[in-house]
Structure 1
Amino acid sequence: VSPEPLSDEVKELLAQYHPMDNALFTADPPHHTRHRALVNKALNPRRVRQLEGAMRQIADELIDGFIADGRCELHTQFGIGLPLTVISDTLGVDRSDMPAFKYWSDCMIAGNLDMLDNERRAEVARAVIDFQQYMIPRIEARREQPTDDLLSDLANATIEDSDGAEAAVGPRNLTTAELLPIVSQLLIAGNETTTNLIGNGLVLLIRHPEVMAEVRADHSLIPNFLEEVLRFDGPIHCTFRIAQEDIELRGETIPGGSMVVPMWGAAGQDKDVFPEPRRFDVHRANAKRHLTFGHGPHFCAGAEMARVEGRVAFETLLTRLDNIRLAPGAELEMLPSFSARGYQAIPIEFDPAT
């Protein structure tokens, strides 16, 4: 997204992309419906339940790396590592490649949701090319020799071409052009949003010590605490959409073809739905009515995984770290993003739990 025309360099880079079809985030039914069904099946409750033990092990290993220091930078030393490792393991990619995965994910988020000049556009385009060159041989390998991971499930899943837009050829595997955007969107949704959920949640606990004490004493409050974090200060505040037709909304006309920006974050502050919306309340009965995971057909496919990861993260942090506080002189700065809501760094100090 940018008012600046594409430079020749960016056009040349875009021409190097492997073709990609719309999927999930940018697709409409029935195309979206078929692909979403495959992702729902692959990210089924059984797989998410199976991942919980691994999530706990990863969380403990990350904390083991800094607990003796009595301090850490939570964003990079825990918030990034937990969800990034989980989605990497789920997709079946090498952990040694996680730094590249994180960089590609950050670039693709920027390319989809931020205002970019041509220099940044070129950087994003190179990242997409590198991501595609990394994933294509791995997709092909999973087709030839499937393994027990999400990438294998998607690479070998079948769909029916019967929506009228394509020839009725019967069941077929997803093409590489269909798989690449699905995998890229799973990568993005599987790490960045959960990273910011963890960071935003911990900052809220530090700023509300009475809530931290209550949640620490009763971990059964953590699920609703997470819903209140998602409502009060969620990791994604908006997205971009195109109106398919003229729409009347509260006396205003949105012309068909117009770009619109649904503000999920603003919905969480609707006083007609949430009494005293600026009050952070872990006992809020309807906290789960937030729209941070979206709404309708595009409701986040990884919502349950994010909730489990968030619960595991805070159960582990609050069990192993006491007296969590911001480091002296810490000044929290927000991410320079139009849509993502999170902190660039969260330096904290703590006492190891005994």
Structure 2
Amino acid sequence: MTAETNGGINYDPYDLQIAADPYPVFRLMREHAPLYYNPTQEFYALTRFTDVDAALVDHDTYSSARGAVLELIKANAPVPSGVLVYEDPPIHGVHRKLLARMFTPRKVYALEPKIREFCARCLDPLIDTGRFDFVKDLGAQMPMRVIGMLLGIPEKDQETIRDWSNAHITTEPGKPMKFASDGYQTGDIFTEYIDWRAEHPSDDIMTELLNAEFEDETGTIRRLTRDELLLYVSVVAGAGNETTTRLIGWAGKVLAEHPDQRRELAQNPSLIPQAIEELLRYEPPAPAVARYVTHDVDYYGQTVPAGSVMMLMIGAANRDYRQFPPDGDFFDIHREPRQHLTFGVGTHYCLGAALARQEGRIALEEVLSRFPEWQMDSAKARLCTSSLVRGWDSLPAVIP
């Protein structure tokens, strides 16, 4: 089975050279091993858009209940109730409905002036300095402030929360993530904030979660338990930081490599929302998610046995020419809009997608209004090492 399902291709998710540019391997997998098997890491992978798209909505076959990370599923560690990305319906629907109240269009759009203010605070001191780090100076700062404001975390503590979140996804170079014996890390770091908000309510997510009543999977009307609340807050804090941080970093890298398109955006900012969508497709911050296979399933004449781990390769599917003709490996801000899978699809579609798009749009508008030209200082750039996300920890630019 191995020879037939890997096509002589080696995709190792922990290989640093592959992580630096996985797309040549993704292309080989798509064309020559659309059902791929890695015998060393013991996982299967799907790379074609139609296969990944269909698998993401088939929670009966591909379960999230044991995690969405290769290492977590293989560790067979327990996942506590309340971690949305690691749940299947119907319990997922109960918890998602509760959190969806926090990301209404009204609340998201009301943030725009404050997001611009955060961007200005980050960028204005850098004018005329000749240098700007897309991640350290903006990508790791502005999203942290926005999520901190939404949650009700004091600004003086927001960097601590961001660093706590990053520490849980960063791995040693070339090494898999390690999970504690009790599985998912809880959000104990938020305990004092929850206690404070219980006594001092405000217009933020933490206060709403403290007071929200909902009908759980047993039909009982209740409020969240303390442990559930800690998990909810930690999920929002982690997910809210990561996607936008990586998006802003990739905007700097990709637009430096496509200066003509960057200049077009600077001259015509109305194209920026379309450019953000293309950036999300072209360089998804989370290029793969994992699922536990609940029963035997067949692909391309091969059987994936129940109990396997299936990697759904979003980064590969997003560049499939069948969905994005004529060539998905080509970056084009004028590409005809088509569905991509960066925010998932169906039950697990990202609740914060609209906020991430808005933050990305505003960030790029504010950067281009101040720095319409830049070149990357590639020798000093540093790629993040993580199984969960792909992006930059540092991406310095030289401003002419």
TM-score by length of 1: 0.84
CA distance in 2, matches of 1:305, 1:23: 20
CA distance in 1, matches of 2:304, 2:113: 47
Aligned to 2:151: 91
CA contact (8 A) 1:20 1:180 kept: no
CA contact (8 A) 2:263 2:373 kept: no
Aligned to 1:63: 123
2:329 to 274, 278, 301: 278
Q: Once the two structures are superposed, what CA deviation does each residue of 1:318-346 show, in whole Å capped at 9, x if it has no partner?
A: 0111322224x635342222341112321
Listed as ranges, the matches of 1:53-202 within 5 Å are: 53-110=113-170, 115-116=175-176, 128=185, 131-132=187-188, 134-161=189-216, 163=217, 166=218, 168=219, 170-202=220-252
Q: Once the two structures are superposed, what CA deviation does each residue of 1:143-179 show, in whole Å capped at 9, x if it has no partner?
A: 4442100111122111113x3xx4x4x3211112222
Unpaired runs of 5+ residues, structure 1, are 7-13
Residue 278 (structure 1) shift: 1.1
Cα gap change, 1:136/1:333 in structure 2, threshold over 3 Å: closer, same or farther? Answer: closer
- 1:97 partner amino acid: D
Residue 51 (structure 1) shift: 0.6
CA contact (8 A) 1:62 1:81 kept: yes
Unpaired runs of 5+ residues, structure 2, are 1-69
Aligned pair count reads 326
CA distance in 2, matches of 1:296, 1:247: 20
CA distance in 2, matches of 1:274, 1:60: 35
CA distance in 2, matches of 1:137, 1:311: 34
Residue 81 (structure 1) shift: 0.3
- 1:336 partner amino acid: T
CA distance in 1, matches of 2:333, 2:205: 34
Residue 103 (structure 1) shift: 1.7
CA distance in 2, matches of 1:74, 1:290: 24
Residue 316 (structure 1) shift: 0.3
Moved over 6 A (4+): none
Residue 110 (structure 1) shift: 4.1
Listed as ranges, the matches of 1:1-354 within 5 Å are: 20-110=80-170, 115-116=175-176, 128=185, 131-132=187-188, 134-161=189-216, 163=217, 166=218, 168=219, 170-275=220-325, 276-287=327-338, 289-327=339-377, 330-351=379-400
CA distance in 1, matches of 2:374, 2:289: 33
Residue 96 (structure 1) shift: 1.1
CA distance in 2, matches of 1:323, 1:141: 45
Cα gap change, 1:27/1:348 in structure 2, threshold over 3 Å: closer, same or farther? Answer: same
Q: Once the two structures are superposed, what CA deviation does each residue of 1:188-210 show, in whole Å capped at 9, x if it has no partner?
A: 11111111101101111111010
CA distance in 1, matches of 2:334, 2:274: 7
- 1:68 partner amino acid: D
Q: What SS is found at the alignment partner of 2:238? A: helix
Q: What SS is found at the alignment partner of 1:172? A: strand
Higher relative contact order (CA 8 A, sep 6+): 2
Q: Is the helix fraction higher in 1 or 2?
A: 1
Q: Once the two structures are superposed, what CA deviation does each residue of 1:203-256 show, in whole Å capped at 9, x if it has no partner?
A: 111110100011111111111111111111111101222123333334333333
CA contact (8 A) 2:291 2:309 kept: yes
Q: What SS is found at the alignment partner of 1:281? A: coil
CA distance in 1, matches of 2:227, 2:310: 27
CA distance in 2, matches of 1:173, 1:265: 38
- 1:281 partner amino acid: D
CA distance in 1, matches of 2:105, 2:286: 24
- 1:347 partner amino acid: P
Aligned to 2:10: none
CA distance in 1, matches of 2:211, 2:98: 10
CA distance in 2, matches of 1:318, 1:172: 48
TM-score by length of 2: 0.75
Cα gap change, 1:173/1:144 in structure 2, threshold over 3 Å: closer, same or farther? Answer: farther
